[in-house]
Structure 1
Amino acid sequence: MKKLLYIFIFFGLTSCNDGDIIVTSFEFEDVDLQLCQGAKPNEFVFFKINTSVNEAISYNFIDATYSATTITENPIIIDLETPDNGLIYRKFNNTITADYYCNNIPDSSIIVTEELLSISGQATIINEIVSEDDNDGVESTLEAPSEIDPEDDPDGDGVPNYLDDAMADSTIGNDDQTADNLGIEDGYDTDGDQIPDFRDQDDDNDNVLTSVELPNSDPNDDSFLDTDEDGIPNYRDDDDDGDGILTKDEDINGNGNPRDDDTDGDGIANFLDTDDAISVTAESILSNTVITTFRTTLTVSDLILNEVNDQFTNDDFSFGFRDETVSITTPIN
């Protein structure tokens, strides 16, 4: 069901002699929430534009803790009673674009024909991660036991499956987490590096990216590559050729990439060749990049506008949400 913001305005004799109620509506659900950096330090502007009727609603605020790509440990709660933290509804003489809010100097041809300002209320801002993926070519469900979605939360306890000690019991969460251990459940972290496989570009920590270890050269075989045929696909096998030497220790030139080392010159890299007998001790691991989507949700409660007072019928509403996807890389150790 669409959520509508209804604003009822009583106009005086100068505006409307018969005292009719003019109803303006803004459709929140069908319009994208957008964000711009404000002109002042730590100032942000959330806004929605309804181009079909040339109206928009915006919320500007100043807060040093907010970032579109940082989790809010606690909700950011801001009163709507100051000029720097306010909600504004406007109608225009013409269609506007995001530039109206994102440029310091708006287009002079745009005229505000109607404006309502918040004089009281409270805004709540929450920013959380809604999805993460290592983009390694393996579906996240295939990187989990029994093809369970690692990020799902079926018991609604706020703990995703890969951390939940009891996925079907909302009274039990990630109770085995410690200062040194995230408490990742069995089967979700092949190499035990505290990065769950669905976020790990190198699931077996052998310094060969998972995406590189997947392809099988047999067009009639759609299974993942398993060079030593030990039942463990290469992307989860830290000794891909089964020669007793860890793949990462077959990086003879020490550049962090076992793929370019071929001691006997037979065209087969050492880590896939059982006919080599040279090993070193790896001192580094690959950096890890995760494609992360953050979601900012903005809600407004107890809203009072300057001209409508108790005629405003929907004083608690969701302003909507906005997603931002970024690549986050953890450097080489």
Structure 2
Amino acid sequence: MKNVYWFLFAVLLLISCDDGDLIVTDFDFENQQLQWCGNDDSQVLYNINNDQVHEAIAFRFTYNTVEPGFLATEEGQIRIPLNAENQVIYRVFDGQVENDYFCNSIPPVSPQVTEEYRSTSGGEVIITSTLKNATDHDGDGVLSEAEGMASERDTDEDGIPDYLDIDDDGDNILTRTENDVEAANTVNGLPDSDNDGTPDYLDADDDGDGTITRYEDWNRNNNPADDQNDEGLAHYLNPEITDSFQVDTFRENLISRGFRYLVTIENLSLVNQGGDGEQIRLENYELGFIDSPAQQYNPGEGSEEEEEEEGSVEDQ
């Protein structure tokens, strides 16, 4: 375990400058996954270590121009200047630090802070958001590249490209379901029930009986897969059953997606609050990362709803 306190102490013995500043190149907590409390007015990202030395580092800030808070819902970057309101705080304690330490409305009496460093103005925190499922955007088991992402292929012409469509051919059978059936014939390793050279997940008539799969929905519940014979074979895969039921409604195209937010800091300067003016300066520092809650998103509507709520935080 690379403990920040002892690392800084060792560097202090080895490196000093004429002006009394301590200049180091890096310091790290072993666990890079950050914790978070916040609302649209106040946020705190923090990391706590209780391995031998009890310590914590936190970035407390106000940022509400991106909803909700700093959790951007698109890939990109936001930059937050360090100043009197937006601060990085490093603390060493005399005992065990609870995980919700920075989320309490009133700072706890115990443990007590024995060392504290706070950032000065001039630096900048960069939060970079990346999509966690960037290789399979709709989570249907087919890679986005194979679903024609580059050309925005839209097999069922519903306005949603295949790589964002959970039902590529619009037959009300999910792509994942169509690729999870046993079939004697395959194309590129994927089921091709009627052996016509088109895999089921791109074929509007999977069994080639002349009745489109969407119309082989006997109970008309927008899911032909649950209409089966006594042997468990779905009617839409049985070419001997051609009964047709006009169904012109479609399943809602909800996909689940989440983002990872990498938090880095440029030109970080931390000042000891004990009165001696000792400083720690870092040109680039990776604070850690945080993952957003999974979100349900309909690419056809551009709407998303978070599945989890944020916490709360008060200034400490």
TM-score, L = length of structure 1: 0.67
SS of 2:31's equivalent in the other structure is coil
The Cα of 1:247 is off from its aligned counterpart by 1.0
Cα distance, 1:199 vs. partner? 4.2
Match of 1:330 in 2: 298
Instruction: Quote the Cα distance in structure 1 between the aligned partners of 2:76 and 2:297.
Output: 25
Q: Partner residue of 2:247?
A: 282
Residue type of the alignment partner of 1:144: A
Tell me: CA distance 1:31–1:25, structure 2 relative to 1, closer, same or farther (3 Å). farther
Distance 1:296 1:237 in 2: 38
CA separation of 1:131 and 1:85: change in aligned 2, threshold 3 A: same
- Change in CA separation of 1:23 and 1:51 when aligned onto 2, cut-off 3 Å: farther
Q: What is the root-mean-square deviation of aligned Cα atoms in Å?
A: 4.2
- Alpha carbons of structure 1 residues 289 and 247: separation in structure 2 relative to 1, 3 Å: same
Once the two structures are TM-superposed, the CA of residue 297 in structure 1 deviates from its matched residue by: 1.9
Q: Partners in 1 of 2:77 and 2:287 — Cα distance?
A: 15
8 Å Cα contact 2:206/2:236 also seen in 1: yes
1:213 has 2:212 as partner:
no
CA contact 1:8–1:21 (8 Å) conserved in 2: no
- One of 223, 244, 252 as aligned partner of 1:257: 223
Cα 1:290–1:41 change in 2 (3 A) is closer
**1:239 maps to amino acid:** D
Aligned to 2:45: 46
In structure 2, give the amino acid aligned to 1:317: Y
Cα pair 2:25 2:283 within 8 Å, conserved: no
SS of structure 2 residue aligned to 1:98: coil
Residue type at the aligned position of 1:90: R
Displacement of 1:204 after TM fit? Answer: 1.9
Greater displacement, 244-253 / 84-93: 244-253
CA shift at 1:316, angstroms? 3.0
Percent of residue pairs identical: 34
Instruction: Give the match's secondary structure for 1:314.
Output: strand
Instruction: Give CA-to-partner distance per residue, 1:82-131, whole Å, 9 cap, x none.
Output: 2x321111001113132112333444321100111122122222323232
Is the partner of 1:104 in helix, strand or coil?
coil
**1:259 counterpart SS class:** helix
Distance in 2 (CA, whole Å) between partners of 1:51 and 1:26 is 20
Greater length-normalized contact order (CA 8 Å, ≥ 6 residues apart):
2
- Aligned-partner Cα distance in 1 for 2:251–2:158: 12
| Structure 2, gaps ≥5 residues long | 13-19, 302-316
